Structure 1
């Protein structure tokens, strides 16, 4: 076994590898970019070395620099995690040339599966079932269009060299085909340096089922059962589970044996995942093989009782697989929910910001959290916006799902928009509870999963008001303690007024809605005048912002987080954010803004589709920008004329930058 390894990655996977290495007594070397100088994986490792600036191309993708650090630090092997250089055959070869062990498959295996087109040809020879499609080397645009027509719409366009949903487009009719082919090429080129595409028949209600395989250098190969990854947005997984609902033993064995056949066909070694698409009748087809550890590997660990990172280390060190196929068994059920900084209400657009407040459910035998961030960390535009993976386990699917709903309710994030509310809706949806999952699940149930945000309730308003009243009391106590006369009536916060009712009016804003709450001071609390009526209230708070309230005899607990004028109330109603509003100040700042179209986040311009003076219709595409490895199309919010275009193709733009100006047509 190794004494010391380098982890050529960041975030939660780097922290995950460090955890196993600590248990095995293996020292770890972390690498980091300038943006990650204070990251969690840097703090957890035994030592950490700076690679370069924030951009991945200048840091985490610098194979030469990583090898230099590995040799200088005395590491014997390199674990690539996933993403970055994990499926880079040249990196694996360069490590071997430098006398270092790559904790992954042979370079030849990576190459064999690195091209989806070549992989499908190999699988065809190995008699692994394939989806009808085109995966040839000829990439002429007209040929691709003819092949799509031959296959029949809808079709799925995929980047041959990629994964993670990048360069993947669903085309339902011929009029969409050419622009989607061109967009997929751009994303593939930007994400993987290879613009080759393949086209497949798009199955309408398929399930995405993947098999975890493991092979060693002693001619052993096993499968550690399946994971259902059908629930996806932007062709990226959201919730994964193991085992797959409705899977019978015969089908599990058939898929597992097909996966092992695929791995053995390319002389595989280490951890790999063979992904299948399964039709409603149970027929399954090979999609691709990921020659690395998967993001969702924890659900397999939870149901099998095995540490897959330990297996990787042992196999890379030349040991045989720890267990044979007949020694592996499924116990219980597990779910993994990916908690992202993103806005589900804006087509899951990635978000950036600082994690001002972060509280997680308690970890146990039933709840596991894999994360690379801590409270105060920043979600930057340079890397994947995943905050954490929440993994739960129990004896069966029903109980595991109840665990998931409870853990999601206990997860608190303030400072950046997240998908927590969406995940909770998904985990509570009747079709998901019934196991009726497929890759179009989110689109089918979008109205239920993404309902309009409800107006702030009186209960939340009451909690916000109580928090502000307690904050005022605490501030008065502090002033009194620092005063020459701590008993002066000027330090009192009991609401006493001469010749008038003792009350205070609080003004809040919920989006465009303005709300006022009047708090009348009473001997044992407050009488609150709320939009829906009056109630008696009192509360106590703790130093970390937890509030214990009594609203007309109903006891509630909530967490209050204040950032400037924003007050986030985290309660059984979810997380609701109000703005403390000063009507007088707002009236004095009545400047109107409009006419501009702004960048939703930092990124680069990849296409400008209009010129100054052009007449445009509502929803017409105007600019395409690339951010967080995905393309985002900026469309016209209304009909008008393009008055000015402020950026050219290739230019970097900051969050909120005005991309172009749209004027009224008349």
Structure 2
């Protein structure tokens, strides 16, 4: 229980343990989260806060989706039916929406994390031209297009020239779960390095965040963005091997999960399945042919 303006109770029931096996023959639920509050709104908000603190690695999970459901106005109102998910997410779940306050808070936290790594890097001795000072200003860009300028002034942070706010966080390099206070708001965020950027997960979505000094940010505007190719219409060989079976031909209609081909590699057969419903446009290779990694096996319309 937690005392304060409201009494909140949070409980997690689970049946898993280190070394245990989650069998394919049982319900895939590995844990159940229960919260109680004096009002429906308080209990729901406790769910969101608790879901932010889950760090599940190695398997797929629905933590972000559950958080998004808890935040949905229709769910909070109780005006739901068994058709709620189909009605509200007809194109599938793409993450909970991001509001301006959350982008600003994530930007402040991301800048603090970057500054922490900069501070540690500055302690390395023997650097050419001496240690690089920790920047007081950072430009933070989120994958949704939002951009914020973050300035540190003593123990406070200023985002986009707004009023200074207290920023407290328990972050140390390598830490994944970060609890922070930005102004009067509590944030719990999962943090992971992603190349030159960071992946920050909270409130039902994962955001790719890039932190730069103002000079680097200005120069980066002139860089040509490399757009990754759209591979959603192709079934690619996941590894070098032998195509032992091809179950489709041009014009065939396939459904999500349907077996499409079998690749033999390292004396094992790997069944490749369609990721979504589609019509086969072409099959560039045939059964019995050798495959290179990422070679196109089937092209869809």
TM-score class normalised by the smaller sequence: 0.5 to 0.7
Does residue 596 (structure 1) correspond to residue 239 (structure 2)? The answer is no
Cα distance change on mapping 1:483 and 1:576 into 2, 3 Å: same
- State the Cα distance separating 1:422 from its structure 2 match: 3.6
Higher helix fraction (1 or 2): 1
Contact 1:401 1:433 in 2 (8 A): no
The residue number in structure 2 matching 1:562 is 192
Residues 567, 578 of structure 1: 8 Å contact kept? yes
Match of 1:580 in 2: 210
Find out whether 1:367 has 2:11 as its counterpart: yes
Residues 1:472 and 2:114 are matched in the alignment: yes
SS in 2 for 1:644: coil
The separation in 2 between residues aligned to 1:567 and 1:433, in whole angstroms, is: 32
C-alpha deviation, 1:599, in angstroms: 9.2
Which whole-Å deviations, capped at 9, do the CAs of 1:489-522 have from their partners, x for residues lacking one?
8453253xxxxxxx33233323xxx343222444
Specify which of 42, 55, 61 is matched with residue 413 of structure 1.
55
**Residue in 2 aligned with 1:492?**
133
SS at match of 1:587: coil
Give the 5 Å matches for 1:393-432.
406-407=46-47, 409-411=49-51, 412-413=54-55, 415=57, 417-424=60-67, 425=69
- Determine helix, strand or coil for the equivalent of 1:466: helix
C-alpha displacement at 1:410, in angstroms?
0.3
| Equivalence map 1:329-368=2 (5 Å) | 367-368=11-12
2:178 to 521, 525, 546: 546
Q: CA deviation at 1:662?
A: 1.8
Residue 250 of structure 1 corresponds to none
**Would the aligned equivalents of 1:620 and 1:636 in 2 still touch at CA under 8 Å?**
yes
Paired with 1:420 and 1:483, the residues of 2 have a C-alpha distance of 43
Asked whether the equivalents of residues 247 and 259 of structure 2 are also in contact (C-alpha less than 8 Å), the reply is: no
**CA shift in 2, pair 1:647/1:506, >3 Å:** farther
Shift of 1:640: 6.5
The equivalent of 1:457 in structure 2 is 99
1:212-291 matches, cutoff 5 A:
none
For normalisation by structure 2, the TM-score amounts to 0.56
Residues 373 and 580 of structure 1: is their aligned pair in 2 closer, same or farther, counting only changes over 3 Å?
Answer: farther
Matched, 1:517 2:152: no
2:298 alignment partner in structure 1? 661
The answer as to whether partners of 2:192 and 2:199 remain within 8 angstroms in 1 is: yes
- Are the equivalent residues in 2 in contact too, given 1:427–1:433 (CA < 8 A)? no
Bigger Rg over Cα: 1
Q: Which ranges in structure 1 are unaligned for 5 or more consecutive residues?
A: 1-363, 496-502, 649-655
1:272-311 map, 5 Å: none
Question: More deviation in 425-434 or 415-424?
Answer: 425-434
Superposed CA offset, 1:115-147 (max 9, x none): xxxxxxxxxxxxxxxxxxxxxxxxxxxxxxxxx
- Higher RCO (C-alpha under 8 Å, 6+ residues apart): 2
With over 3 angstroms needed to count, the CA separation of the structure-2 counterparts of 1:490 and 1:584, relative to structure 1, is same
Question: In the aligned structure 2, how far is the partner of 1:468 from the partner of 1:393?
Answer: 29
Mapped to 1, the partners of 2:229 and 2:15 lie a distance apart of: 42
Taking the aligned partners of 2:223 and 2:247, their CA distance within structure 1 comes to: 38
Distance, in Å, in 2 between the alignment partners of 1:549 and 1:491 is 28
Partner of 2:265: none
5+ residue gaps in structure 2?
1-7, 212-216, 261-271
Q: What is the deviation of 1:446?
A: 2.2
What TM-score do you get using the length of structure 1 for normalisation?
Answer: 0.30
The question of whether the paired residues in 2 share the 8 Å contact of 1:548 and 1:558 is answered with: yes
Alpha-carbon distance, 1:430 to partner: 5.6
> What is the match of residue 264 of structure 2?
none
What's the CA shift for 1:419? 1.7
Number of residue equivalences: 252
Q: Which of residues 235, 251, 264 in structure 2 aligns to 1:615?
A: 251
Match of 1:528 in 2: 159
Deviation at 1:370, TM superposition (A): 1.2
- State the alpha-carbon separation in 2 of the partners of residues 647 and 534 from structure 1: 64
Q: Shift of residue 596 of structure 1?
A: 0.8
Distance 1:589 1:554, change over 3 A: same
Task: Give the CA deviation at 1:470.
Answer: 2.0
Contact 2:22 2:28 in 1 (8 A): no
Secondary structure class of the residue paired with 1:460: helix
Q: Cα–Cα, structure 1 residues 390 and 489, in superposed 2: closer, same or farther, change >3 Å?
A: same
